Chains A and B, each alone.
Chain A
Amino acid sequence: MPHNTPVLQGLMVLLGCQLAGEVGVRLTGIEFPGPVVGMVLFLVLLRIRRPAESSPLVAAPALLLRHLNLLFIPAGVGIVVYLGTVRDNALPLAAGLWVSWLVGFVVTGLVASTLLRLVRERR
């Protein structure tokens, strides 16, 4: 990211898209996560505006995504509140988490790689 990029303007656009998404789903009563609607709005904006690499529209989301992992930590620590629930339901939680992770992950990888090969061979 170049120096002196006005990241704040970009953050303002991100928050504006999120706000529009959150307000939109509440006004319409559609049960859908507001930030995802905001993401679609921001994508439309990016496709139309096609901002340069040095634009705040690129710098602000790049900054947030670079440290995305940091943002998950407080929610992860929330496990302390449920240590009792986790102990009492260790088997269903562990099985549900890891079996479905593995099956979903393997199926996705195989489906994607098979289709990518088919698409390439067709050409």
Chain B
Amino acid sequence: MNLHGAETWDWLSTSPLLGVTLTVGGYVLGRWLHARTSSPVFQPVLVAMVVIVTFLELTDVSYAEFMVGGSYISFWLGAATVALALPLHQEWHLVRRAALPVLLGVVAGTLVSVVCAIWVTDLAGGSRELQLTMAPKAATTPVSLALSTQIGGIPALTAALTILAGITGAILGPWVLDRIGVTDQRARGIAMGSVTHGIGTARALQESRTEGAFSALCMGLAAVATSVAVPLLILVL
């Protein structure tokens, strides 16, 4: 029997099945490793990214070919952004009581993150394009991606930086909050959501329900705040 190896590979490397399977497979593996080791270093997103990037490098499948399937997954980010209204709605009573700390926390986090991102990137010798790529990275991916497109950054790089910021927050966030003595679950959630968006929120939900709820809320508010602040700030910075 003749095996049609080359033809099969040609079909697979351009089929949506490859990107979808790699993404879901990497995620399932990441979740499994995370559950087995319960180490914050094994973030499911990070594990999946490492596995997939390694696979693409080894097999010479391009990112464009991977995204034939990957875009089926990332398409849902838009609907997921809309879905962020749910935790906002569910925690409305807690939120109303803590409205001022929530709002000022989000505004402070957004302004400091955007200004600092542009300023530090500039100081370290980054071009204007890199500064604009960095500026929206504290907002959740669909928003940072859209903003990067709008202000003239490199959208795909912004998306990757956003995700790295989220992974950093998921790994180091709770540790940093312990060091600086922020013990209030609501304050911890406000910090996680405002600066580390979805990936940090997934981590916050593991710490406590309250922290997760405030994180989800602040992720949504930070998305709105960043959408307003970034276009205005780049005019003056």
- The chain B residue sitting closest to A67, CB to CB, is B27
By a beta-carbon cutoff of 8 Å, the part of chain A in contact with chain B is 11, 14-15, 17-18, 21-22, 31-36, 38-43, 45-47, 58, 60-62, 64-65, 67-82, 85-86, 89, 91-93, 95-113, 115-117, 119
Instruction: Report whether A68 and B201 are in contact in the complex, using a CB–CB cutoff of 8 Å.
Output: yes
Residues of A within 8 A of B224 (CB): 36, 40
Would A65 and B86 be within 8 Å (CB), given that A80-B63, A91-B125, A96-B117 are in contact? yes
User: Quick one: CB contact mask for B144-181 with A, threshold 8 Å, 1 for yes?
Assistant: 01110010001011011111111011000100110011
Is the C-beta of B66 less than 8 angstroms from some C-beta in chain A? yes
> How far does the alpha carbon of A62 sit from the alpha carbon of B71 in the complex, in Å?
21
Instruction: Report whether A60 and B45 are in contact in the complex, using a CB–CB cutoff of 8 Å.
Output: no
> How far does the alpha carbon of A119 sit from the alpha carbon of B80 in the complex, in Å?
32
Given contacts A35-B77, A77-B53, A99-B120, 8 further A-B contacts (CB under 8 A): A14-B82, A69-B45, A76-B160, A79-B49, A93-B161, A104-B116, A105-B173, A116-B98
Instruction: Report whether B53 and A80 are in contact in the complex, using a CB–CB cutoff of 8 Å.
Output: yes
Residues of B within 8 A of A112 (CB): 101-102, 104-105, 182, 184, 186-187, 190-191
B191 CB, min distance to chain A CBs, angstroms: 4
Which of B79, B113, B154, B188 contacts A15 (CB under 8 A)?
B79
Instruction: Report whether A119 and B101 are in contact in the complex, using a CB–CB cutoff of 8 Å.
Output: yes
- The chain A residue sitting closest to B101, CB to CB, is A115
Instruction: Report whether B78 and A103 are in contact in the complex, using a CB–CB cutoff of 8 Å.
Output: no
B114 CB, min distance to chain A CBs, angstroms: 8
* Number of residues on chain B facing chain A (CB within 8 A): 110
Which of A14, A74, A116 contacts B74 (CB under 8 A)?
A74
Is the C-beta of B32 less than 8 angstroms from some C-beta in chain A? no
Residues of A within 8 A of B88 (CB): 43
Question: Which 3 A-B residue pairs are closest in the complex by CB-CB distance?
Answer: A92-B126, A74-B70, A96-B121
> How far does the alpha carbon of A74 sit from the alpha carbon of B25 in the complex, in Å?
12
Residues of B within 8 A of A67 (CB): 27
Residues of A within 8 A of B162 (CB): 75
Residues of B within 8 A of A22 (CB): 78
A29 CB, min distance to chain B CBs, angstroms: 12
A18 CB, min distance to chain B CBs, angstroms: 5
Is the C-beta of B52 less than 8 angstroms from some C-beta in chain A? yes
> How far does the alpha carbon of A64 sit from the alpha carbon of B100 in the complex, in Å?
29
Instruction: Report whether B100 and A115 are in contact in the complex, using a CB–CB cutoff of 8 Å.
Output: yes
B237 CB, min distance to chain A CBs, angstroms: 13
Which of B67, B141, B157, B191 contacts A72 (CB under 8 A)?
B141
Instruction: Report whether B79 and A18 are in contact in the complex, using a CB–CB cutoff of 8 Å.
Output: yes
Instruction: Report whether B164 and A97 are in contact in the complex, using a CB–CB cutoff of 8 Å.
Output: yes
Residues of A within 8 A of B190 (CB): 108-109, 112
Would A82 and B160 be within 8 Å (CB), given that A95-B124, A101-B169 are in contact? yes
Instruction: Report whether A111 and B105 are in contact in the complex, using a CB–CB cutoff of 8 Å.
Output: yes
> How far does the alpha carbon of A19 sit from the alpha carbon of B29 in the complex, in Å?
33
> How far does the alpha carbon of A89 sit from the alpha carbon of B187 in the complex, in Å?
34
Instruction: Report whether B82 and A18 are in contact in the complex, using a CB–CB cutoff of 8 Å.
Output: yes
Which of A62, A76, A93 contacts B49 (CB under 8 A)?
A76
> How far does the alpha carbon of A79 sit from the alpha carbon of B126 in the complex, in Å?
17
Residue of A42, A99, A107, A113 ringed by the most chain B CB atoms within 10 A: A113
> How far does the alpha carbon of A73 sit from the alpha carbon of B67 in the complex, in Å?
11
A61 CB, min distance to chain B CBs, angstroms: 3
Would A115 and B104 be within 8 Å (CB), given that A38-B82, A68-B80, A72-B199 are in contact? yes
